Protein backbone atom coordinates (compact mmCIF):
# COMPACT_ATOMS: atom_id res chain seq x y z
CA UNK A 1 0.00 0.00 0.00
CA UNK A 2 2.84 2.41 0.80
CA UNK A 3 4.24 1.98 -2.75
CA UNK A 4 0.87 2.99 -4.18
CA UNK A 5 0.62 5.98 -1.85
CA UNK A 6 4.21 7.05 -2.65
CA UNK A 7 3.47 6.90 -6.37
CA UNK A 8 0.43 9.18 -6.07
CA UNK A 9 2.12 11.53 -3.62
CA UNK A 10 4.81 12.12 -6.26
CA UNK A 11 2.24 12.63 -9.01
CA UNK A 12 0.36 15.24 -6.96
CA UNK A 13 3.41 16.84 -5.31
CA UNK A 14 3.29 19.97 -7.47
CA UNK A 15 -0.36 19.96 -8.46
CA UNK A 16 -1.67 22.88 -6.42
CA UNK A 17 -1.95 25.07 -9.55
CA UNK A 18 -3.74 22.42 -11.62
CA UNK A 19 -7.44 23.08 -12.15
CA UNK A 20 -9.13 19.69 -12.12
CA UNK A 21 -12.11 19.13 -14.40
CA UNK A 22 -15.12 16.87 -13.86
CA UNK A 23 -15.23 13.65 -15.84
CA UNK A 24 -17.15 13.40 -19.12
CA UNK A 25 -20.00 11.28 -17.79
CA UNK A 26 -20.70 13.67 -14.91
CA UNK A 27 -20.72 16.73 -17.17
CA UNK A 28 -22.80 15.04 -19.86
CA UNK A 29 -25.43 13.69 -17.46
CA UNK A 30 -25.50 16.33 -14.75
CA UNK A 31 -29.21 16.79 -15.47
CA UNK A 32 -29.80 13.40 -13.83
CA UNK A 33 -28.30 14.56 -10.51
CA UNK A 34 -30.65 15.19 -7.60
CA UNK A 35 -31.22 18.81 -6.61
CA UNK A 36 -29.90 18.03 -3.12
CA UNK A 37 -28.47 15.08 -1.24
CA UNK A 38 -25.11 13.49 -0.54
CA UNK A 39 -22.32 12.36 -2.84
CA UNK A 40 -18.89 10.78 -2.68
CA UNK A 41 -16.06 11.16 -5.18
CA UNK A 42 -14.02 7.94 -4.94
CA UNK A 43 -10.27 8.12 -5.68
CA UNK A 44 -10.92 11.82 -6.24
CA UNK A 45 -7.42 12.97 -7.17
CA UNK A 46 -7.52 16.77 -7.36
CA UNK A 47 -11.29 16.71 -6.98
CA UNK A 48 -12.73 17.92 -10.27
CA UNK A 49 -15.78 15.73 -9.70
CA UNK A 50 -16.13 16.69 -6.03
CA UNK A 51 -16.01 20.42 -6.80
CA UNK A 52 -18.54 19.96 -9.60
CA UNK A 53 -20.93 18.10 -7.28
CA UNK A 54 -20.58 20.73 -4.55
CA UNK A 55 -21.34 23.40 -7.15
CA UNK A 56 -24.59 21.55 -7.90
CA UNK A 57 -25.63 21.94 -4.24
CA UNK A 58 -24.84 18.37 -3.19
CA UNK A 59 -23.04 17.69 0.14
CA UNK A 60 -19.88 15.97 -1.04
CA UNK A 61 -17.21 13.72 0.44
CA UNK A 62 -13.93 13.26 -1.45
CA UNK A 63 -11.61 10.31 -0.79
CA UNK A 64 -8.11 9.72 -2.13
CA UNK A 65 -4.98 7.89 -1.01
CA UNK A 66 -2.79 10.97 -1.62
CA UNK A 67 -2.40 13.59 1.11
CA UNK A 68 -1.02 15.97 -1.52
CA UNK A 69 -4.15 15.62 -3.65
CA UNK A 70 -6.45 16.09 -0.67
CA UNK A 71 -4.52 19.16 0.53
CA UNK A 72 -4.75 20.73 -2.94
CA UNK A 73 -8.48 19.95 -3.08
CA UNK A 74 -9.09 21.52 0.34
CA UNK A 75 -7.41 24.74 -0.86
CA UNK A 76 -9.41 24.77 -4.08
CA UNK A 77 -12.69 24.16 -2.21
CA UNK A 78 -11.90 26.93 0.25
CA UNK A 79 -11.15 29.35 -2.60
CA UNK A 80 -14.55 28.59 -4.11
CA UNK A 81 -16.42 28.73 -0.81
CA UNK A 82 -17.39 25.04 -0.82
CA UNK A 83 -17.57 22.82 2.23
CA UNK A 84 -16.20 19.40 1.34
CA UNK A 85 -15.47 16.44 3.58
CA UNK A 86 -11.96 15.61 2.31
CA UNK A 87 -10.43 12.32 3.44
CA UNK A 88 -6.89 11.08 2.78
CA UNK A 89 -7.14 7.29 2.99
CA UNK A 90 -6.94 4.20 0.81
CA UNK A 91 -10.36 3.80 -0.81
CA UNK A 92 -10.80 0.20 0.33
CA UNK A 93 -10.07 1.11 3.97
CA UNK A 94 -12.46 4.04 3.86
CA UNK A 95 -15.24 1.92 2.35
CA UNK A 96 -14.89 -0.65 5.13
CA UNK A 97 -14.81 2.00 7.86
CA UNK A 98 -17.86 3.73 6.34
CA UNK A 99 -19.93 0.57 6.11
CA UNK A 100 -23.04 2.24 7.54
CA UNK A 101 -22.99 5.28 5.19
CA UNK A 102 -25.06 5.56 2.03
CA UNK A 103 -24.88 8.25 -0.65
CA UNK A 104 -27.33 9.57 -3.22
CA UNK A 105 -24.53 9.86 -5.77
CA UNK A 106 -21.27 7.93 -6.12
CA UNK A 107 -18.74 9.07 -8.72
CA UNK A 108 -15.68 7.09 -9.80
CA UNK A 109 -13.47 8.22 -12.66
CA UNK A 110 -10.22 6.75 -13.94
CA UNK A 111 -9.96 4.28 -11.08
CA UNK A 112 -10.62 0.55 -11.32
CA UNK A 113 -10.52 -1.97 -8.51
CA UNK A 114 -12.98 -4.70 -9.45
CA UNK A 115 -13.04 -6.11 -5.92
CA UNK A 116 -14.57 -2.86 -4.62
CA UNK A 117 -17.46 -2.59 -7.08
CA UNK A 118 -20.00 -4.63 -5.03
CA UNK A 119 -19.16 -2.52 -1.97
CA UNK A 120 -19.84 0.66 -3.94
CA UNK A 121 -23.33 -0.57 -4.70
CA UNK A 122 -23.83 -1.30 -0.99
CA UNK A 123 -23.02 2.37 -0.26
CA UNK A 124 -25.60 3.63 -2.73
CA UNK A 125 -28.95 4.83 -1.34
CA UNK A 126 -32.13 3.38 -2.86
CA UNK A 127 -32.83 5.51 -5.92
CA UNK A 128 -29.21 6.72 -5.86
CA UNK A 129 -26.97 7.08 -8.89
CA UNK A 130 -23.52 5.78 -9.66
CA UNK A 131 -21.47 7.61 -12.31
CA UNK A 132 -18.56 5.40 -13.37
CA UNK A 133 -15.95 6.17 -16.04
CA UNK A 134 -12.56 4.66 -16.72
CA UNK A 135 -10.16 3.46 -19.41
CA UNK A 136 -10.84 0.53 -21.73
CA UNK A 137 -8.64 -2.16 -23.23
CA UNK A 138 -10.08 -1.49 -26.71
CA UNK A 139 -8.68 2.03 -27.14
CA UNK A 140 -8.66 4.20 -30.24
CA UNK A 141 -5.36 5.66 -29.02
CA UNK A 142 -3.41 2.78 -27.41
CA UNK A 143 -1.06 5.11 -25.50
CA UNK A 144 -3.99 6.71 -23.63
CA UNK A 145 -4.26 5.73 -19.97
CA UNK A 146 -2.66 2.71 -18.30
CA UNK A 147 -1.29 -0.28 -20.21
CA UNK A 148 -1.77 -2.83 -17.42
CA UNK A 149 -4.92 -4.86 -18.30
CA UNK A 150 -5.80 -5.01 -14.61
CA UNK A 151 -6.79 -1.35 -14.88
CA UNK A 152 -8.61 -1.55 -18.22
CA UNK A 153 -12.24 -2.42 -18.82
CA UNK A 154 -13.21 -5.14 -21.26
CA UNK A 155 -16.07 -4.42 -23.71
CA UNK A 156 -19.40 -4.05 -21.85
CA UNK A 157 -17.73 -4.92 -18.54
CA UNK A 158 -19.40 -2.07 -16.66
CA UNK A 159 -22.81 -3.43 -17.65
CA UNK A 160 -22.02 -6.75 -16.02
CA UNK A 161 -20.91 -5.21 -12.73
CA UNK A 162 -23.99 -3.02 -12.47
CA UNK A 163 -26.52 -5.43 -13.99
CA UNK A 164 -28.79 -5.30 -10.91
CA UNK A 165 -29.13 -1.54 -11.22
CA UNK A 166 -31.21 0.39 -13.74
CA UNK A 167 -28.88 1.55 -16.51
CA UNK A 168 -29.64 5.19 -17.33
CA UNK A 169 -26.71 5.79 -19.70
CA UNK A 170 -23.90 3.68 -21.13
CA UNK A 171 -21.07 4.42 -23.56
CA UNK A 172 -18.38 2.03 -24.77
CA UNK A 173 -17.11 3.18 -28.19
CA UNK A 174 -14.07 0.93 -28.51
CA UNK A 175 -11.82 1.61 -31.48
CA UNK A 176 -14.39 1.45 -34.28
CA UNK A 177 -15.10 4.16 -36.82
CA UNK A 178 -13.28 7.49 -37.00
CA UNK A 179 -10.82 6.91 -34.23
CA UNK A 180 -9.79 10.54 -33.75
CA UNK A 181 -13.35 11.83 -33.38
CA UNK A 182 -15.61 11.81 -30.37
CA UNK A 183 -14.87 10.92 -26.76
CA UNK A 184 -12.56 7.89 -26.87
CA UNK A 185 -10.49 5.40 -24.85
CA UNK A 186 -12.89 5.29 -21.90
CA UNK A 187 -16.23 3.72 -21.13
CA UNK A 188 -18.84 5.21 -18.83
CA UNK A 189 -22.11 4.39 -17.19
CA UNK A 190 -24.83 6.01 -15.12
CA UNK A 191 -26.88 3.51 -13.15
CA UNK A 192 -29.61 3.84 -10.53
CA UNK A 193 -30.20 1.61 -7.54
CA UNK A 194 -33.80 0.40 -7.53
CA UNK A 195 -36.11 1.52 -4.75
CA UNK A 196 -37.56 -1.47 -2.93
CA UNK A 197 -41.34 -1.43 -2.79
Q: Mind listing the pLDDT tens digit of every residue in the chain (197 residues)?
A: 568 888 888 888 887 677 899 999 999 999 999 999 999 999 999 999 999 999 999 999 999 999 999 999 999 999 999 999 999 999 999 998 988 899 999 999 999 999 999 999 999 999 999 999 999 999 888 888 898 999 999 999 999 999 999 999 999 998 888 888 988 999 999 999 999 87
Residue 197 within a domain: no
CA-CA distance, 95 to 108, in Å (whole number)? 13
* Tally of domains within the chain: 1
CATH number reported for the structural domain that contains residue 51 in this entry = 3.40.50.150
pTM score: 0.94
Q: What angle do CA 37, 46, 15 make, to 5 degrees?
A: 160
Domain ranges, residue 64 = 2-192
Residue 11 within a domain: yes
Residue 97 within a domain: yes
- What is the DSSP code (8-state) at residue 33? S
Residue 150 within a domain: yes
Amino acid sequence: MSNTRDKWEKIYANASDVVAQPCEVLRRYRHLLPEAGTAVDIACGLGGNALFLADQGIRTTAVDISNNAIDALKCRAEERGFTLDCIAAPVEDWLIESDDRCFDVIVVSRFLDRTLLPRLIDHLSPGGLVYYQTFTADKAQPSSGPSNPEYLLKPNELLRYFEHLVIRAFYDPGSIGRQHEGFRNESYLVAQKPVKK
